Amino acid sequence: MNDTPLGQKLRRLIAANGPMSVSEYMAHCLGDAAHGYYTTRDPFGAGGDFTTAPEVSQMFGEIVGAWLIEAWRLSGSPDPVALVELGPGRGTLMADILRVAARVPGFRRAASVQLVETSPTLRKHQADVLGAPGIDVQWHEAFGDVPGGPLLLLANEFFDALPIRQFVRIGATWRERVIGLDDEERFAFGIGAGRLDHGPAAPNGSILELRPAADALMTEMARRIVEHGGTALIVDYGHADAGIGETLQAVARHAYADPLEAPGEADITAHVDFAALARAAEAAGAATHGPMPQGEFLVALGIAARAERLAGDANEATRHTLRTALERLIAPHQMGILFKVMAVTRPGVAPPPFAFGRI
């Protein structure tokens, strides 16, 4: 049975209040203050449950850092500017960005590091990694807490962890999917009372996913960019065009898991709907660029040449490591296509490589 501490808490909540939405279940599993997945552990790397691009190779962070500096220049080189990362993990990506930024003194002086992180465990890791002299880091619980003014915002594998709602096509209507308990007190999907007033036509039993938390955050980010200037870069796995179908998934120890098993012990995510993010940003007056497959983005910005420079006079073992990392980041069968990159700017700004068109 689902006998994790969080599982026991969720069973009590369901017994008292009835089945909960998928969105509520995700929020508990990932963010519960005492037992949530992200609030209680370091899930990254070979010893954790999954590996993100910054953990694969420093090349990813260096390319992103160079891109952010160019985006800063295209935005008029604002000083000061908030360098914001949502969900910064261990701090690896920001450390790589700051290493590149140190070569551009004007940018480094202008940028203040602002990290949006709710996990005490991960905040400690970030402080350890970024605790070098001269680096002033401020932490925030939510994006809305970041000080006002121009910003350069990065969200790498952040939107996929925001709670989603699911609806099931029942006859001519869309009914909300919920999570309750079966006869053996195990978590099970069911159909709740909530329904959509409007929804696409689809076969009976189809699943539709909506992402109100992601849309609301994108709206807030876009308004900030339109009003104060700056750029956002979103890197995540998902779809360029919205569609029908379930993408809810769980990962534990680098393997797929059942989202309803062991609540609080596995990462639960859903594919990002980039089309919906773009609509939210554009409705707020911003311009969007992409999404572009991660492989195309990195190749266009010179990651292959960077790998060659790093290889230099290195031994064969190091060269093999670099080749393997490069393939993982850009190859179509690895992260190259499933992961996508989208930028958000003020209208009239065209950052590379989006300005180049498809390569």
Per-residue pLDDT reduced to its tens digit, 158-216: 999 999 999 999 999 999 999 999 999 999 999 999 999 888 999 999 999 999 999 99
Backbone angles phi, psi at 259, to 5 degrees: -60, -20
On the question of pLDDT at 358 being above 50, the answer is no
Q: What is the mean pLDDT of residues 323-341?
A: 97
pLDDT band at 253 (very low <50, low <70, confident <90, very high): confident
Copy the structure tokens of residue 1: 């049975």
Domain 5-162+210-356 class, CATH top level: alpha beta
Cβ-based burial of 244 (10 A; exposed 0-12, middle 13-18, buried ≥19): middle
Residue 357 pLDDT level (bands cut at 50, 70, 90)? low
Please state at what angle helix 92-101 crosses helix 120-129, rounded to 10 degrees: 30
- CB-based contact 122:39 (threshold 8 Å): no
- Residue 179 backbone zone (phi > 0: left; psi -120 to 50: alpha; other: beta): beta
| Domain layout of the chain by residue ranges | 5-162+210-356
pLDDT level of residue 42 (50, 70, 90 thresholds): confident
Closest by CA to 65, choosing from 98, 103, 106, 110, is 98
As a whole number, the mean pLDDT across the chain is 94
**pLDDT, average across residues 58-70:** 97
Closest by CA position to 294, among listed 239, 231, 237: 237
| Stretch 323-346: mean pLDDT | 97
Instruction: Give residue 262's pLDDT.
Output: 92
Q: What is the mean pLDDT of residues 266-276?
A: 96
Q: For residue range 121-149, what is the model confidence (pLDDT) as tens digits? A: 899 999 999 987 678 899 999 999 999 99
- Predicted pLDDT of residue 146: 98
For the chain, percent of residues with pLDDT exceeding 90: 87
> For position 359, what pLDDT does the model report?
36
